[in-house]
Amino acid sequence: MQTENYLIRKPSLEKLFNNLISGGKTVIAPKAKGNLALFDKVQAFGEITEDYIVTTNSAKSVVFPRTEKLFSYHKSKEKTEITDASSSAFPDVILWGTRPCDAAAFVPLTDTFNGDYKDIIFNNRIEKVILLSFSCSRSDDSCFCTSVNSGPGNTSGSDVLFTKLSGCEYLAEVMTPKGQLLVSENIDLFETKTSEDKEKSLAVVATRFNQEEIQAKLQNLFENPVWDDKSRACLGCGSCAYVCPVCSCFDIQDEAHGNKGTRLRCWDSCGFSMFTLHTSGHNPRETQGARWRQRILHKFLYVPNKSKIAGCVGCGRCSRSCPADINILETLTSI
């Protein structure tokens, strides 16, 4: 669809928020918690913080929760009954305050869960999610969105992208039919906008590497000392995968309570030593270096080769959250 541009003022943004809440939507937005900004459920406009470059956690849990019920079962002497969790009523969610990198991550996530088969639970969830993103006016040393085909004002994945133009004026770029519907339902809050002065309001994010060049180099880099060198400090804690908005590797686990229980899909990480461990004790990725290599190759070689999209959105969360100060940029710029 063709992008529609509007202008909205801060008091109207608050009204929009209130309309969404009173319309029964669940709003997930950045909320201050100690020194952190975290995506969380909010009830009042005042709960939303604007003081964040990116939140510590990503927004992926809205469509790919940390623990997702796949089905529940009930065993009795006579029979086993299964209740499908995909037919549950998933909530109408407004993701408010996602950054362009957060929104861009929904593209590879959607690709993963729709490749060879359609993951019904993921699709039932994402169908009911609307992304109201906000462009970045600030960045830090960990940001590298411009190196992975994104940017501080990139619209990819967003239904509506707001860019703060002045103290109280926001440009609203309506990108999708979902966004269009939301705006049309609240059209009295929006003003027609013709001039385009978005760029000067955006943060400057330096380009750190060329993605195509990295992809080409990685093609022949499986055996290379860089993997051990750059991962020596790795604790294998999996933080990088947990905060990553794109990482979608998962485990399947059962939780039993007597003769009832559930089968769950849970976040996992290629950084964990047990991720690929065979029951025999054999481990195809025996060292942390081999696991770090998998992480980089998956995002910058395997995904782009297969789907022609990046497996990383350059949000920098992995580098900010790493307890051992491992910086993905250091690896990428050294190869």
* Interface residues toward other proteins, by CB under 8 A: 70-71, 73, 75, 79-80, 82, 84-86, 112-113, 115-121, 222-223, 248-256, 261, 263, 265, 268, 270, 275-280, 282, 284-285, 290, 294, 297-298, 301-302, 305-306
Cα 62 from chain centre: 9
Residue 68 or 173: the one with the smaller Cβ distance to other proteins is 68
* Minimum distance, C-beta of residue 86 to other proteins, in the bound complex (Å): 4
* Minimum distance, C-beta of residue 328 to other proteins, in the bound complex (Å): 18
Residue 158 or 294: the one with the smaller Cβ distance to other proteins is 294
Cα 217 from chain centre: 26
The DSSP secondary structure of 184-220, one letter per residue, reads: HHTGGG-EE------GGGSPP------HHHHHHHHTT
Q: Which residues contact 273 (CB under 8 A, 6 or more apart)?
A: 236, 283, 288, 291
* Minimum distance, C-beta of residue 305 to other proteins, in the bound complex (Å): 6
* Minimum distance, C-beta of residue 148 to other proteins, in the bound complex (Å): 19
Residue 140 or 222: the one with the smaller Cβ distance to other proteins is 222
Q: Are 222 and 289 in contact (CB under 8 A)?
A: no
* Minimum distance, C-beta of residue 126 to other proteins, in the bound complex (Å): 15
Residue 80 or 192: the one with the smaller Cβ distance to other proteins is 80
Residue 178 or 285: the one with the smaller Cβ distance to other proteins is 285
Q: Is 70 left (phi over 0), alpha (psi -120 to 50) or beta?
A: alpha
* Minimum distance, C-beta of residue 68 to other proteins, in the bound complex (Å): 10
Residue 185 or 255: the one with the smaller Cβ distance to other proteins is 255
Residue 214 or 297: the one with the smaller Cβ distance to other proteins is 297
For residue 76, give both structure tokens: 């009795």
* Minimum distance, C-beta of residue 149 to other proteins, in the bound complex (Å): 21
Residue 155 or 211: the one with the smaller Cβ distance to other proteins is 211
Using CA atoms, how far apart are residues 151 and 156, in angstroms rounded to an integer?
A: 10
Using CA atoms, how far apart are residues 37 and 66, in angstroms rounded to an integer?
A: 18
Strands 80-84 and 67-75: antiparallel
DSSP conformation class of 289: H
For residue 149, give both structure tokens: 């085909």
Using CA atoms, how far apart are residues 319 and 76, in angstroms rounded to an integer?
A: 49
* Minimum distance, C-beta of residue 309 to other proteins, in the bound complex (Å): 15
Q: Strands of the chain (E only): list them.
A: 4-9, 26-33, 36-42, 67-75, 80-84, 93-98, 129-134, 160-164, 169-174, 191-192, 250-257, 260-267
* Minimum distance, C-beta of residue 293 to other proteins, in the bound complex (Å): 9
Residue 21 or 226: the one with the smaller Cβ distance to other proteins is 226
Using CA atoms, how far apart are residues 25 and 18, in angstroms rounded to an integer?
A: 10
